[in-house]
């Protein structure tokens, strides 16, 4: 079973920034209002964003304004990054994966929500598979025999950030079996 070994947050609710390594048993301790529940909610947000869509996960929390850090000044985006240990079957060496998503207001827009940046890395004994997406451009580097090939996908129109509802689904189709390892729904 995959194991989240690290969580990094930036501008998520009351949390300005944190970087927490997680063990098999991690206990969050702190005074009331210090961000323990928001830390756990960030994990739940990521789970819901992958299982449904980032937009659905935001709607369940009252929209972007409810998730963005508001103090000392309002943020325009938030990001969540996880590192995961993925045991491979049968008894192969452990595979590691990382995934990061930044969601916020598109540049030059006071309204609207978009996935501003999204990236993932899957590392294993046979190579590395990566994807990175920002400003409507996706770069993919496939795994297998230490491939250095990169496929670049760009929208036919201008380079605006992708609409929120298409974000993770697009990468599932692009990476195929590689992304299946990062997709916890299967």
Q: Is 135 a member of any domain?
A: yes
Percentage above 90 pLDDT, the chain: 47
The range of the structural domain enclosing residue 22 comes to 3-180
User: Residue 17's pLDDT band (boundaries 50, 70, 90)?
Assistant: very high
- Domain tally for the chain? 1
Q: Is 89 a member of any domain?
A: yes
Measured between alpha carbons, how far is 88 from 71 in angstroms, rounded to an integer?
Answer: 42
Q: Is 186 a member of any domain?
A: no
Nearest alpha carbon to residue 183 among 50, 63, 93, 42: 50
Q: Is 185 a member of any domain?
A: no
152-177 residues labelled b (16+ CB within 10 A) or e (exposed): eeeeeeeeebbebeebbebbeeebee
The reported pLDDT for the residue numbered 150 is 44
| Between residues 139 and 77, the one the model is more confident about | 77
E strand or H helix that includes residue 168: helix 167-175
Measured between alpha carbons, how far is 59 from 63 in angstroms, rounded to an integer?
Answer: 5
Dig out the tokens for 31 from the structure.
Answer: 């005074």
pLDDT tens sequence across 66-108: 999 998 888 999 999 999 988 766 656 678 899 999 999 888 7
Q: What is the pTM of this model?
A: 0.73
**Highest mean predicted confidence (pLDDT) among 37-51, 112-126, 158-172:** 37-51
Q: What contacts 52, CB < 8 A, 6 or more positions away?
A: none
Per the prediction, the chain carries an average pLDDT of 77
CATH assignment at residue 38: 3.40.50
The reported pLDDT for the residue numbered 92 is 62
């Amino acid at each position: 079973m995959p194991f989240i070994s690290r969580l990094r947050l930036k501008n998520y609710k009351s949390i300005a920034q944190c970087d927490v390594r997680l063990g098999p048993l991690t206990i969050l301790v702190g005074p009331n209002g210090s961000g323990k529940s928001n830390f756990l909610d960030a994990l739940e947000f990521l789970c819901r964003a992958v299982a449904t869509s980032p937009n659905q996960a935001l709607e369940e929390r009252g929209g972007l304004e409810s998730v963005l850090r508001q103090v000392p000044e309002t943020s325009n985006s938030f990001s969540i990054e996880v590192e995961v240990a993925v045991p491979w079957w049968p008894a192969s060496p452990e595979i590691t994966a990382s995934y990061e998503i930044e969601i916020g207001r598109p540049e030059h827009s006071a309204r609207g929500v978009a996935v501003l940046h999204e990236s993932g890395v899957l590392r294993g004994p046979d190579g590395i598979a990566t994807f990175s997406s920002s400003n409507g451009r996706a770069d993919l580097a496939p795994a297998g025999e230490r491939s250095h090939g990169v496929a670049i996908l760009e929208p036919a129109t201008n380079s605006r950030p992708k609409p929120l509802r298409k974000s993770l689904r697009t990468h599932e189709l692009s990476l195929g079996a590689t992304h299946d390892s990062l997709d916890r729904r299967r």
